[in-house]
């Protein structure tokens, strides 16, 4: 009970902090110091206008389609490769350097290369989402495999389990908490990736919209879109966290699993 009230008090503090920030924003905005800094009320008005405009909804649809096409296969393939890397030394030795390289690269620098390969269209957007998400799922899944209790593997063997059974019924469930942590991060990164790639093209999707609004100095509308993207990222990652808690009832009691690798 005591903890609950403390938690509530902390929540209250967060809300107060947020409100104070918004008030400060409003006040400074009204000083009209810079066109890049409109008052909060103006952005709010733009949110109401922009979030329901056909142009925005069309862009949102485009971005969601790209994510829906690229993210699921990236996750599935990432989990599969991650399982193999975590389980088999040889696969680990073969692929580890490659994957670590990709994880430490500044991916933004690779986007022009992707456009060179896949052209100025959806192909490049999909490829960007994949390179932003695939490797993070791979390393987190592989790290999850390493948390497998070797005694459970031995127990399964003692009951006659073959490699397929060990993989499906022991390794995969052991790896799931970290795999989900990887998927959570990948979801956030997929949203970032789609915006970045669409900005390069400048015509389609929310990234295109951001690009065009920026070019037209429509600052309030720009902020309205950026705000949406931020909130959308938060909500998506929270949705994955909820799915995680549903899928992993045995770790509900424990803290949410911290990812093994967040990536750059």
Partner 1 sequence: MIEIREIGRQFNTRDGGTFEALKDVSFSVKDKEFFSIIGPSGCGKTTLLKMVAGLVRPTSGQIVIDGSPVSGPGNDRAMVFQHFVLLPWADILTNVGFGLEMRGLSRRESREAARPFLDRVGLTGFAEHYPHELSGGMQQRVGLARALAVSPDILLMDEPFGALDAQTRQLMQEDLMRIWDVEQKTVIFVTHSMDEAAYLSDRVLVMDTHPGKVREVLDVPLPRPRDEAVRTTPVFNELTSHMWHELRGMIGDPTAPAPE
Q: Can you give the binding site for partner 1, defined by CB under 8 A?
A: 149, 151-152, 154-161, 165, 169-170, 173-174, 176, 248-250, 253
**How many whole angstroms separate alpha carbon 37 and alpha carbon 220?**
9
End-to-end alpha carbon distance in the chain = 40
Backbone angles phi, psi at 39, to 5 degrees: -65, 155
DSSP structure class, residue 121: S
**How many whole angstroms separate alpha carbon 254 and alpha carbon 37?**
43
DSSP structure class, residue 258: P
- For 73, half-sphere exposure in the C-beta direction (CA atoms, 13 angstrom radius) is 9
**How many whole angstroms separate alpha carbon 138 and alpha carbon 124?**
21
Torsion, Cα 119 121 124 126, to 10 degrees, reads: -150
**How many whole angstroms separate alpha carbon 223 and alpha carbon 227?**
6
**How many whole angstroms separate alpha carbon 39 and alpha carbon 32?**
8
Q: Which residue shows structure tokens 């924003």?
A: 25
């Amino acid at each position: 009970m005591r903890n609950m009230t403390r938690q509530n008090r902390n929540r209250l503090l967060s809300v107060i902090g947020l409100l104070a920030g918004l008030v400060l924003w409003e006040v400074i905005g009204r000083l009209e110091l810079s066109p890049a800094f409109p008052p909060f009320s103006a952005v709010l008005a733009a949110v109401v206008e922009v979030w329901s405009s056909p142009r925005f909804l069309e862009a949102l649809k485009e971005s969601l389609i790209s994510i829906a096409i690229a993210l699921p296969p990236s996750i599935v393939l990432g989990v599969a490769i991650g399982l193999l890397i975590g389980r088999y030394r040889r696969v680990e030795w073969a692929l580890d350097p490659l994957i670590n390289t990709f994880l430490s690269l500044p991916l933004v620098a690779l986007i022009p290369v992707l456009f060179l390969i896949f052209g100025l269209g959806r192909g490049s957007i999909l490829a960007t989402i994949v390179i932003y998400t695939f490797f993070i799922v791979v390393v987190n899944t592989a790290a999850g495999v390493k948390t497998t209790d070797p005694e459970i593997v031995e127990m399964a063997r003692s009951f006659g389990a073959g490699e397929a059974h060990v993989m499906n019924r022991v390794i995969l469930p052991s790896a799931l908490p970290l795999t989900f942590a990887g998927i959570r991060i990948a979801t956030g990164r997929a949203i970032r990736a789609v915006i970045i790639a669409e900005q390069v093209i400048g015509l389609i999707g929310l990234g295109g919209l951001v690009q065009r609004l920026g070019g037209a100095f429509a600052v309030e509308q720009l902020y309205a879109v950026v705000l949406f993207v931020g909130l959308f990222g938060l909500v998506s990652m929270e949705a994955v966290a909820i799915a995680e808690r549903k899928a992993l009832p045995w770790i509900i009691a424990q803290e949410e699993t911290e990812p093994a690798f967040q990536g750059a």
